Amino acid sequence: MTESVKQDVALPTGWKASDSPVKRAFAKSRLVQVAAAVLALLVLATICAPLLALHNPFDPGSLDLMDAFTPPWSQGMGEMFYPLGADDQGRDVYSAILYGLRMSVFVGVAAVALSLIIGVPLGLIAGYAGGWFDTLLMRIADVQLTFPVILVALLIFGIARGLLPEGYRDDMAVFVIIVAIGLSDWVQYARTVRGAVMVEKQKDYVLAAQLIGRSQTAILTKHILPNMLAPILVIATISFAHAIVAESTLSYLGVGLPPTAPSLGTLIRIGQSFLFSGEWWILLFPSLVLLALALSVNLVGDWLRDALNPKLQ
């Protein structure tokens, strides 16, 4: 009896697999695989844009005005073949998307990095120290949250442009938009990190570290911060997608990147003027790429959150 118990006992704790369930989830979920593939393709396209593009859409000399409004998959007046058509300037939509994607991804990554750099340390300190600093920071965050992100970004954008000398405005537009989006988004990080720190700092492992006399900086960076990675990563991916959309919105509103250095948003803005005159391709293709980018980043980010949680491994 006891012998048989020992042999074929199937413990519930035996469910812990040696192979990671995250990998299994990846292998199982078609959706995540497709999203990851799409994201990889888009990132590759971003990196290799100059190689893949048919011409440099930022170089006015390479544009042929005679080819304006060439429909997709057809030959222009000259030698050029336009797989996705040409816009009102005779710019190849396919090449413009590649370069526009580059701008969008760059703005997204930089804006997320900026809001991370501001939001995470503020959230850590506010959550750990509490007191007046916490109260002050959270009230500032509350006030900022009452304004829509785009409005805050517009405000920052407007002020920054006002401060810059006229000749530099177009050159600095990229950085201004990064600062505008980054500054309008730090609140999310600060609030989430603060909440998570307040939970973590109650835990006994923090007490154990205090007991052996570790400094507050060491406890914050070595003990608490690694436990914040999962929520930070999730917000980062979601706000990366947000940042790209926000940039597109700003560009669409005409306050973002100039038409000479178009992002996906700029292309969409250009395209929508021709939507009702039959030149649908100028709007549709950049929009589809934007959609694919935002969606795949979100899906992969969701999956990554589980992958980074050691409890699920």
Partner 1 sequence: MNMTTDTHNPVPDAVPVLRVRNLSVTFDTYKGPVHVLHDVSFDIWPGEILGVVGESGAGKSMTGSAVTGLIEAPGRISSGTVELRGLRIDNLQGEDLRRIRGKRIGTIFQDPLTSLNPVYTVGDHLVETIRTHLPVSEKEAQARALALLEEVEIPHAKERMAQYPHQFSGGMRQRVAIALALCAEPELIIADEPTTALDVSVQAQIIALLRKVCKERGAAAMLITHDMGVIAETADRVMVMYHGRVLETGAVRQVLDAPRDPYTQVLMAAIPSVHQRVERLPVPEVGGGPVAKAVPWTPKEVAADASTANVRPLVEVKDLCKDYDLSAGWLARLLAREEKKILKAADHVSFNIRKGTTFGLVGESGSGKSTVARMVAGLTPPTSGTILFDGVDKWSPAAQTVAMRRRFQMIFQDPYASLNPRWTVEQLIAEPLVVLGITQTKEETAARVQEALRRVRMKPDDVTKYPHQFSGGQRQRIAVARALASQPEFIICDEPTSALDVSVQAQVLNLMRDLQDEFGLTYLLISHNLAVIRHMCDDIGVMQRGKLVEVGDAQVVLDDPQHAYTKDLMAAIPDIAHVH
Q: How far is the CB of 168 from partner 1 (least distance, A)?
A: 45
> Distance between CA atoms of 83 and 99, rounded to whole angstroms?
16
CA distance 163 to 156: 11
Whether 192 and 232 have beta carbons less than 8 Å apart is answered as: yes
Q: How many CB atoms lie within 10 A of CB 53?
A: 20
Position among 61, 204, 217, 276 found at the interface with partner 1 (CB under 8 A):
204
Residue 123 CB, nearest approach to partner 1 (Å): 18
Among 34, 48, 207, 275, binds partner 1 (CB under 8 A): 207
Count of residues engaged in binding partner 1, rule: CB under 8 A: 35
Residue type for 91, please?
Answer: R
The CB-of-34 to partner 1 minimum distance in angstroms stands at 21
The mark string for 253-292 relative to partner 1 (x by CB under 8 A, - otherwise) is: ----------------------------------------
Which is closer to partner 1, CB of 163 or CB of 212? 212
Name the residue with tokens 């292309």: 267
When asked if residue 3 is in the footprint of partner 1 (CB under 8 A), the reply is yes
Alpha carbon 235 to chain centroid, angstroms:
9
Report the candidate in 189, 23, 17, 210 with the shortest Cα–Cα distance to residue 114: 189
**Residue 195, C-beta contacts closer than 8 angstroms, at least 6 positions apart:** 127
Q: Please select the residue that binds partner 1; options are 50, 83, 159, 203, rule is CB under 8 A.
A: 203
Nearer to partner 1, 117 or 222 (CB): 222
The residue to which tokens 């990229």 are assigned: 174
* Minimum CB distance to partner 1, residue 88 (Å): 54
What size, in residues, is the chain?
313
Is 217 an interacting residue with respect to partner 1 (CB under 8 A)?
Answer: no
Burial class (CB in 10 A: 0-12, 13-18, 19+), 209: middle
Pick 17 or 44: Cβ nearer partner 1: 17
Of positions 11, 30, 59, 278, contacts partner 1 by CB under 8 A? 11
**Binding residue (CB under 8 A) for partner 1 from 47, 208, 275, 291:** 208
Applying CB under 8 A, does 226 fall inside the site for partner 1? Answer: yes
**Token digits for 28?**
């199982």
Min separation Cβ 134 and partner 1, Å: 16
Tokens read off for 174: 């990229």
Among 23, 24, 143, 159, binds partner 1 (CB under 8 A): 24
d(CA 297, CA 156): 26
Nearer to partner 1, 11 or 51 (CB): 11
Distance CA 276, CA 295 (A): 27
Binding site for partner 1 (CB under 8 A): 1-6, 9-17, 21, 24, 203-205, 207-214, 223, 226-227, 229, 310-311, 313
